Amino acid sequence: MDAVINFTSQSQGRDRIFRATQYACALSIYLLRNYTEKKDLVAKLKSLESNMSAGRKLFRLGNAANSIEAAKRTMQLTDRMLSLCLTAANANRALYFICDNVLWARSVGLIRNIDKERWNVNASRCYFFSLVMSLTRDVYAILRLMVQKTRDDRFKQKMEQHLNESPEVAEAVIPQLDAFLFLLLETLRSHPPLALDTVKNICDLFIPLDKLGIYHSNAGVVGFCGLVSSLIGIVTLARPALRLKP
């Protein structure tokens, strides 16, 4: 019970619960869209989804400053590639939150004379670039760990044993590809925070891709991906050991 109280007392915890609820509603609405007898339920879900979205905007009012501070910290990292990716990701996240705050101010009537559609597009672009840089960081970290594993004699023996135990699989998918996939899966399996962060960022990427028209999916895909990434966010916030650092 103490863990639940500590989690919900954080603004990030409440935001992630709201986000998971929002995308669970979006997915449910998509799955129930063809059931005429569920019209009332769908209407309630749409109202709940809208309320969750509005609540999240309120929780994110101070996040731009947090992202700017995070960008300042990541600029000091000694690994230049890591520093570049994380600083760019945090800077774009800060711009996204600024756009989001402006849209919130318009929705409550504090600002009137702005182009809502243009600000929505700008917010999606910043979110997209932030995710691209976060994924670039994940790929860089994965490749670096894969190189380290290839130099490990114990892992070499494990890979040779795998290829010898399943020669028919190696022949079907090309030995080099089988070895690469085995190395990739073993790398992700041995580093859960990196695996979770990669899956989360891939899932999140479908949201701005759809909004920007780069890759059109449907509300079901967006709802499912948003729900998965939200659940991962809840897990990593509840268990800091599973959060990728820096």
Q: Token digits for 228?
A: 């998965």
% the chain with pLDDT above 70: 91
pLDDT value of position 107: 85
As a whole number of angstroms, the distance between CA 177 and CA 180 comes to 5
User: How many C-beta atoms lie closer than 10 Å to residue 11's C-beta?
Assistant: 14
For the stretch 131-161, pLDDT in tens is: 999 999 999 999 999 999 888 878 778 877 7
Determine which helix (DSSP H) or strand (DSSP E) holds 67, and give its type and residue range: helix 63-74
Q: What is the mean pLDDT of the chain?
A: 89
Domain boundaries, the chain: 12-242
Q: What pLDDT shows up at residue 171?
A: 53
- Is the pLDDT score of 2 beyond 90? no
Whether the model clears a pTM of 0.85, i.e. scores above it, the answer is yes
To the nearest 10 degrees (0 to 180), the angle between helices 116-150 and 153-165 is: 90
| pLDDT tens-digit series, residues 20-46 | 999 999 999 999 999 989 999 999 999
Quick one: pLDDT at residue 161? 79
Tokens 């999240």 belong to residue:
56
At 215-227, the pLDDT tens digits run: 989 999 999 999 9
- pLDDT band per the 50, 70, 90 thresholds, residue 214: very high
Instruction: Give tens-digit pLDDT for 173-204.
Output: 556 777 788 889 999 999 999 999 999 999 99
pLDDT tens digits along 96-128: 999 999 998 988 888 888 899 999 999 999 999
